[in-house]
Structure 1
Amino acid sequence: MWDNSPFSMPDGAKITGHQGDQYRVNVSMPFDADGFFGRQCPECSMVFRVNGDDYDALPDELRLWCVYCGHNADHSDFWTDQQRERAMEAARALGVQIVHQGFERIARRTRGTSRRGRVSISFRSSPRYPRPLPEIDEERLARTRTCAGCEVRYAVFGEHRFCPVCGRLPAAPVAFDALQAEMARLDALTSLPDEVRAVLREQGVFTRNWVDTIENVVGIVEALGAATFHERVTDAEDRVRGKGNIFQRLDDMADLFVSAGCPDLRIAVGESTWQRLTRTWAARHVFTHNDGVVDEKYLRRVPDSRTSVGQRLVLSDADCREALADTTALCRALVDISAQ
């Protein structure tokens, strides 16, 4: 702290030193009611929040990761717009006073020197009271997370793949977050007012949402299955070479794990759950590749189906919720394999 400063700074800003005409100013960035403060990615511009106490305990040379896009840079690059405006207001308060002081000096040097060829400057000063720094009023917390690696607490406002300190998250929390997001989307649609739901239903929004859910659960398992296999099996690359998108194919994926000495996923989740998963995966295939129209391949995979070739599958909210529950069980079985 620089004592005897000739400048008056607003609350939250302190001059901590100077060298020549260069001044060093510390500007506080207050935490919100939950003890978090904002960080904004300089690349994608999205905002996340970090627990203030956890952040203060981190090293000064810290580099941060954007939780959304994975941009990695010095932590000082992650100012939010409101934080930047707060700092600029402190800089303006100091700058005005430096200019004011400069005019006072000029006026003192030129006072009483009104001879020919010279200019007399008169300057009247008055006490200056800097404006208060703007408050930080950013979006409140929606979802908070604690990184299993560094234990830093942070909050996000969308789908994320990175810890702000550690970087890329393990596959398991990403998968379970995605499953929770799918369930939240189903809940959001069912909680809408009746008149809104009626309009959306007539426009096919509900049907499209259910199809998306069925397609997304397969992608979630594919990502987790691939990550688990490569982590658990030392010669994973050799075993999957030439097998295409094997982690999209339910039984082929299970056989792959068994061939590598891992537990059988079919036994881990139970026969009835596996049968329902098989039906979900078959439905995903016809929606992705045949606009939901049943073909011979679907009927071979789901022999107890009441549909015929050429019919279009019809999904429901209940189908999606069941698929999410079954997929969650499968993901837990994959995590168990990874933990062995």
Structure 2
Amino acid sequence: MEVEVQMKIEIPTDDDGFMLLKCPHCGDFFKLIFSDMEDYGILHIYCPYCGQVGDSYLTGEAIKLAEAMTKNFALQQMHQVIKRLERKHKRGLLTFKAGQVHQKVYESPVLLVVDTTLIKQYYDCCNRNAKIKPSMKIAGTYCPFCGVKDFEYK
């Protein structure tokens, strides 16, 4: 029996609609607009600093929330299965006792991180914006949407 479960994690955005992300390779933070990340025309997201493609750019806070939600869901499902076994096998050679419901793990919401040090960078190649560290604007960054090195300094 295969069951598909979907959970939603709300990740807040700043006033401009940018979401905080963290590169799994270099560990630096940057921001992108969520709708840009969901665009089917974009195959990969590149780190604007190191140019690497990552599997996930979620921050540690978002990952901890996902783990807590998953653990709570799994414990709830296991308790329900044991409860059904308990009702089914009340008398006989084999009995089950479900016991107390496990205490839920606290699901700490992802907080809005106001990072005023990141500035907007426009990428001509893809006609999109990102927020990056100001010092990297001079050094040049990779376009998060196509991976092209951008040395724009205006």
- What's the CA shift for 1:70? 0.9
- The Cα RMSD (Å) is 2.8
- Partner Cα distance (1:136, 1:59) in 2: 28
Letter in 1 for 2:97: S
Distance of 1:108 and 1:44 partners within structure 2? 53
Give per-residue Cα distances to partners, 1:20-47, cap 9 Å, x unaligned. 2453434333323331112221211111
> How many angstroms does 1:61 deviate by?
6.2
Counterpart of 2:61 in structure 1 is: 82
Q: Write out per-residue CA displacement over residues 164-188 of structure 1, whole angstroms, 9 at most, x where no aligned residue.
A: 11223333x1xx27xxxxxxxxxxx
* Structure 2 unaligned residues grouped into runs of 5+: none
Higher relative contact order (CA 8 A, sep 6+): 2
Give the aligned length: 148
Query: Structure 2 matches for 1:4-153, cutoff 5 A?
Result: 20-56=2-38, 58-59=39-40, 62-73=43-54, 76-113=55-92, 118-123=93-98, 131-142=106-117, 143-153=119-129
In the TM superposition, what are the counterparts of 1:214-225 in structure 2 within 5 Å?
A: none
Indicate yes or no: 2:141 matched with 1:161.
yes
* Shift, 1:63, TM fit: 0.4
Equivalent runs, 1:224-235 vs 2, <5 Å: none
Give the whole-Å Cα distance in 2 for the aligned partners of 1:32 and 1:170: 24
CA contact (8 A) 1:54 1:153 kept: no
SS of alignment partner, residue 20 of structure 1: coil
Distance in 2 separating the partners of 1:63 and 1:122: 49
Shift of 1:107: 1.0
How far apart in 1 are the matches of 2:94 and 2:77? 22
- For structure 1, the residue ranges without an aligned partner over 5 or more in a row are 1-18, 178-340
Higher radius of gyration, 1 or 2: 1
Say if 1:39 and 1:50, in contact at 8 Å, map to a contact too: yes
**Matched position secondary structure for 2:45:** strand
| CA–CA distance in structure 2, aligned partners of residues 91 and 100 of structure 1 | 14
User: Which residue identity lines up with residue 19 of structure 2 in the other structure?
Assistant: F
Could you state the TM-score of these two structures normalised by the residue count of structure 1? 0.38
Shift of 1:62: 2.6
Amino acid across the alignment from 2:5: Y
- SS in structure 1 at match of 2:85: helix
Q: Secondary structure at the match of 2:5?
A: strand
Q: TM-score, normalised by structure 2?
A: 0.76
Identity %: 19
Question: Which residue identity does 1:167 align to in structure 2?
Answer: G
SS of 1:27's equivalent? coil
Helix, strand or coil for the counterpart of 1:102?
helix
